[in-house]
Amino acid sequence: MEQPTENAIGRFPAMRSSQFRWLFANGFFSTGSRWALVLARGWLVHDLSGGSTAAVGWVTFASFIPFVIVGPIAGAMADRVQRRRVLIAGGMFGVVGATVLAVATALELAQVWHVGVLAFATGSAQAITVPTRQALVATSVPRSHLTNAVALSGLSQHGSRLAGPLFGAAFLSTLGVSAVFAVAAVLLAFALLCAFRVGSEVNEASRITTETASIKDQGQHGVVAAAVSTLTADLRAALRYIAADR
């Protein structure tokens, strides 16, 4: 008789890949912490600013605007850098940011501008790691399982959008806002551990363009110039595609 676990894996073939499972968990913990932070930052800024809804709006804006500014650049960079390292670096940055906010809040040292700066910084890190993780998902499973992997990745992120604020609100009402930041830091630490578990077989660095390869013998400046040139070309191509597909 077939075991329930085998039945579940049969329905979700992407889960057969241990690399995808680590990426799935990384996305769940990372996204859950992001939405818990949104909740806690809003409550904290509302309290620190004397109930200013404008301050809450600006801090929330600071946490999400990097997805507009940094996101497209990060998506293009994900084709050129060692993605696992980017995922790990972003995870470390997130853990540090949430921990600093937890400590500052617990010691009653936090100010509105502190929260805004950290919101922008952690938002920038997340704007880099999200497209990087999505690129890693595409190389973590066989092509025949890719549709299932993309669907499960979406499920992980949307599910954590519900779980993050839900548990964040529970901690906020019982233990206080600093506890929410501490829990978010722990979730980000779990996400970081998952990133470390992603193996080198999905750490495909990127496509190397003919233009970049052809000038490698010109030294570091030539390689950097080619990288910037091809990155800019990719961004222009993406914008043209968006404009044509309205």
Domain ranges of the chain: 17-200, 210-244
Q: Residue 211's pLDDT band (boundaries 50, 70, 90)? A: very low
Burial classification of residue 37, based on how many CB atoms lie within 10 Å of its CB (0-12 exposed, 13-18 middle, 19 or more buried):
buried
Q: Distance between CA atoms of 141 and 163, rounded to whole angstroms?
A: 26
Considering the chain, what is the average pLDDT of its residues?
A: 80
pTM of the shown model: 0.78
| pLDDT at residue 205, rounded to an integer | 45
- Which of 38-47, 68-77, 169-178 is predicted with the least confidence, judged by mean pLDDT? 68-77
CATH code of the domain made up of 17-200 = 1.20.1250.20
Task: Render the burial of 180-208: b for 16+ CB within 10 Å, e for the rest.
Answer: bbbbbbbbbbbbbebbeebeeebbbeeee
Q: Residue 42's pLDDT band (boundaries 50, 70, 90)? A: very high
Q: Distance between CA atoms of 31 and 238, rounded to whole angstroms?
A: 25
Q: Which two tokens stand for residue 4?
A: 């329930």
Q: Residue 1's pLDDT band (boundaries 50, 70, 90)? A: very low
Residue 78 has pLDDT above 70, yes or no: no
| pLDDT at residue 26, rounded to an integer | 92
More confident residue, 207 or 24: 24
Please state, in angstroms and as integers, the Cα–Cα distance from residue 203 to each residue in 77, 82, 200, following that order: 14, 6, 5
Average pLDDT (131-150) is: 86
Pick the closest to residue 181 from 91, 99, 96 (CA basis). Answer: 99
Residue 228 has pLDDT above 70, yes or no: no
At position 237, the amino acid (one-letter code) is A
Average pLDDT (6-31) is: 82
